[in-house]
Structure 1
Amino acid sequence: MSGVRDGVELERGRLSTGRSSAISNRCRGVTTEGGIRWLEWPYVRVRSEVHTDRTGDVSEFVVQLEYDVGVRADGRGSSDWRQVARFDHQPDHDHGHDIRDERLHMDVYRDGEKEAVERGFPPVDVNEAPAFCERVFERNAEELVQRFERWHGISGRRDGR
Structure 2
Amino acid sequence: MTFDEMLATARHSAVHLEMRDTYVPDDPSFISWQGGPPYDRTERERDWHRLIGDARSRGVHVRRARVVSEPVTDYIRFEHSVTDSMNITAGESVRWLPRRQASDLALPGNDFWVFDDHLVRFGFFDGEGHYLGEELTEDPALVKLCLTAFEAIWERAVDHSEYKLV
**TM-score bracket for this pair, using the shorter chain length:** under 0.3
Q: Structure 2 length as normaliser, TM-score?
A: 0.26
Q: Structure 1 length as normaliser, TM-score?
A: 0.27
Which structure has more helix as a fraction of its residues? 2
Higher relative contact order (CA 8 A, sep 6+): 2
Which structure has more strand as a fraction of its residues? 1
